[in-house]
Structure 1
Amino acid sequence: MLTLIPVLTVSYEVKSAFLFISVLEFAVGLLANAFIFLVNFWDVVKRQPLSNCDRVLLCLSITRLFLHGLLFLDAIQLTHFQHMKDPLSHSYQTIIMLWMIINQLSLWLTTCLSLLYCSKVVRFSHTFLLWLASWVSRKISQMLLGIILSSCICTVICFGEFFSRPHFTVTAMLLMNNNTEFNFQITKLSLFYSFLFCYVWSIPPFLIFLVSSGLLIVSLRRHMRTMKAHTRDSCDPNLEAHIKALKSLVSFFCFYVVSFCAALISVPLLILWHSKIGVMVCVGIMAACPSGHAAILISGSSKLRRAIETILLWVQSSLKIRAGPKADPKTLCSGRT
């Protein structure tokens, strides 16, 4: 049987290093997702129509901002407030449950993005698949609204159970002669069931994501065979669209699997083994994954790349304007003579 020695407290140096990494991850995630949000929101302010992909990216960037904020609060709770030997505080449980719900919402939104990529890039031959691709493109706003409403319902269910728990806990403690260990076990089971509920509800979008990504891979292989047979030019827009879409989806799959494994490992580390260092490592991994995917989304979007180029040109021109008045004194003297 696997046994781990619980690490209830950590040194000041470990806490400082963990906080520094958490601040760095929070800053990178905040900048990347705020950039995606502001670029698309500026089009809304200018009353320019947003494409379906831009709508999904706008919603996804908002959820990622909340996700990074919750993970940063988790890091602060771990280093300053939550002790492993004590029962989990209500604030820490609230942060964990909110993170699970927002992470599930992020998965649903990325699944919508994969469906959009699939409907735009893959050339279907079957009538039903053609109708389905057209339906996805037309109903993306309704899909986003349904995802947000289902996440709100999930939040109400989880927090309804969470806020009704103290009444049951107080009654149980009176019956068990104020047994704090019994209270601790109830808290563990409730948190575990909330975790299980959220991840079971994440199975349908993950399966849809895998199917749409698989269709993109099959379409790419078919397109490569067609290119070899007809000896087309290597610079093919359809091939580039396939590669960009798969780059975004495969990177999300890798990041999501790593984040899911870290979250899965953190549950026994937090509830059973009380290893604070192990939980810190898992939180750091979970915070790094959304930032990495946001960077790949920026690199794969021509609109976002153009916005970066515009910002860089503006910064370069502003620096030239500031350096302009500082001319060489020799040129000034020669000009006066």
Structure 2
Amino acid sequence: LLTITSRSAIISRSVEVVVGLIGNGFIATINIINWIKSKKISSADMILIFLSTSRFILQVTVLMHIHSLYFVDVFKLASVYKDFGAVWMFVNHSSLWFSTWLYILYCVKIINITHWLLLQIKRRIAGMVPWLLLGSPVISSVTSLPLLWITPSTYLCSSTGNCRENSTAHITDWDSSYLYLLLLYFVGCFFPLVLSVVTSALLITSLWKHRKTMQCYPETFRDSMIDVHLTAIKSIISFLILYLSSFVAQILLILSTSQSKDVVKVAVSLVVAGAYPSMHSIILIIVNSKLKLAFRNLCLHFKCHLEDKPPSPRLERNTLQ
């Protein structure tokens, strides 16, 4: 039963990785192509490029970890495994900051602001975005690079240097390395988590109030606007659910010091923790009109190619726009 559970978790996680690679790779590619074509880029698209690229790298590190579970010799040395842990932490925290800046940007642009300080931020947010994006990796390095100084024999790997040997070992005692790991992860996630929750709550409140004001508009226009607002609210709520569940699941993974006894909890936490960077990319494609149109046209292009039919001129004009 434990073997089946572990294999099911690995398969589910592998599917999430593939979805994340495709989704985030698509977002980064479309925005970069549009940037090259138009020779200009909006603040939101710039954040999307950084966010999707960081998540693509994050999925690659997870894929390499899954690979190491079956091919032990590739990651036999504990120090190498530890380095990948530090890389994962760095990219994960960076992507959390990028997603936070995206929702802060949406919040500043959408909600009605009256305070003078917030008005100044709203006017200068476009110029602040590049600095925020460059500063995020610097902040993330503070909460990830210290992992390199954790003793390999007590962090994720056995004292022999073989990371897989520890997968069935009974770890019953807490030591400083686990507390250190938990502290770094919590500190790295806490501030972007709080900012994301606050800005998302403000966005939902503002959109809900604006939805009520739509009642006085003509019926045709009102219905379409209400649908747009409801879609935005649903996407933000989905983002919050995925974000919070991923945060809790990752904490549970670190707290699970006895893998053989808690294999079901570890398996479930592993799948839940990996759902956020993969599923959120799908949500971004669905709610972003340019990405949604590009994805639809790409699917039609492949369909026409498989059926040996030339794509219509309209399809050619709209693809990747």
Question: What TM-score do the two structures reach when normalised by structure 2?
Answer: 0.77
* Equivalent residue pairs, number: 292
Q: How does 1:225-244 map to 2 (within 5 A)?
A: 225-228=212-215, 230-233=216-219, 235-236=221-222, 242-244=229-231
Is the partner of 2:58 in helix, strand or coil?
Answer: helix
Q: Which residue of 2 aligns with 1:147?
A: 136
- What is the CA deviation profile of residues 245-286 of structure 1, one whole-angstrom value per residue up to 9, with x for unaligned ones? 433332121011111121111123235866444323322222
Out of 269-278 and 97-106, give the one that drifted further. Answer: 269-278
Q: How does 1:97-108 map to 2 (within 5 A)?
A: 97-108=86-97
Q: Which residue of 2 aligns with 1:334?
A: none
Distance 1:271 1:92, change over 3 A: farther
* Rounded Cα–Cα distance in structure 1 between residues aligned with 2:192 and 2:108: 16
Out of 98-107 and 53-62, give the one that drifted further. Answer: 98-107
Is the partner of 2:221 in helix, strand or coil?
Answer: coil
TM-aligned CA deviation for residue 312 of structure 1? 2.4
- What is the CA deviation profile of residues 55-114 of structure 1, one whole-angstrom value per residue up to 9, with x for unaligned ones? 1111111111122222233334456649xxxxx944444444433332222221111011
Is the partner of 1:46 in helix, strand or coil?
Answer: helix
* Rounded Cα–Cα distance in structure 1 between residues aligned with 2:266 and 2:65: 10
Higher radius of gyration, 1 or 2: 1
Tell me, yes or no, if the aligned pair for 1:100 and 1:195 is still in contact at 8 Å: no
Tell me, yes or no, if the aligned pair for 2:82 and 2:152 is still in contact at 8 Å: no
Q: Which residue of 2 aligns with 1:252?
A: 239
Q: Which residue of 1 aligns with 2:24?
A: 33
* Rounded Cα–Cα distance in structure 2 between residues aligned with 1:188 and 1:207: 28
* Rounded Cα–Cα distance in structure 1 between residues aligned with 2:268 and 2:71: 16
* Rounded Cα–Cα distance in structure 2 between residues aligned with 1:76 and 1:32: 21
Is residue 35 of structure 2 the alignment partner of residue 23 of structure 1? no
Query: Residue type of the partner of 1:103?
Result: N
Q: 1:200 aligns with which of 141, 163, 187?
A: 187
Is the partner of 1:123 in helix, strand or coil?
Answer: coil
Tell me, yes or no, if the aligned pair for 1:121 and 1:241 is still in contact at 8 Å: no
* Rounded Cα–Cα distance in structure 1 between residues aligned with 2:304 and 2:12: 34
Query: Residue type of the partner of 1:227?
Result: M
Query: Residue type of the partner of 1:210?
Result: V
Distance 1:199 1:318, change over 3 A: same
Distance 1:47 1:157, change over 3 A: farther
* Rounded Cα–Cα distance in structure 2 between residues aligned with 1:245 and 1:97: 35
- Unmatched runs of 5 consecutive residues or more in structure 1: 1-6, 83-87, 174-183, 324-337
Q: Which residue of 2 aligns with 1:109?
A: 98
Distance 1:202 1:19, change over 3 A: closer
* Rounded Cα–Cα distance in structure 1 between residues aligned with 2:243 and 2:7: 27
Tell me, yes or no, if the aligned pair for 2:111 and 2:202 is still in contact at 8 Å: yes
TM-aligned CA deviation for residue 243 of structure 1? 3.9
- What is the CA deviation profile of residues 145-164 of structure 1, one whole-angstrom value per residue up to 9, with x for unaligned ones? 111222234443332x23xx
* Rounded Cα–Cα distance in structure 1 between residues aligned with 2:253 and 2:43: 36
- Unmatched runs of 5 consecutive residues or more in structure 2: 160-170, 311-321
Query: Residue type of the partner of 1:249?
Result: I
Query: Residue type of the partner of 1:321?
Result: D
Q: 2:121 aligns with which of 124, 132, 144?
A: 132
Tell me, yes or no, if the aligned pair for 2:20 and 2:277 is still in contact at 8 Å: yes
Distance 1:231 1:145, change over 3 A: same
Tell me, yes or no, if the aligned pair for 1:93 and 1:191 is still in contact at 8 Å: no
Query: Residue type of the partner of 1:116?
Result: L
Q: Which residue of 1 aligns with 2:63?
A: 72
Q: Which residue of 1 aligns with 2:291?
A: 304
User: RMSD value over aligned CA atoms?
Assistant: 3.4
* Rounded Cα–Cα distance in structure 1 between residues aligned with 2:283 and 2:274: 16
Q: 2:54 aligns with which of 47, 63, 69?
A: 63
Question: What TM-score do the two structures reach when normalised by structure 1?
Answer: 0.74
Q: 2:109 aligns with which of 120, 123, 128?
A: 120
Share of identical aligned residues, percent? 27
Tell me, yes or no, if the aligned pair for 2:79 and 2:152 is still in contact at 8 Å: no
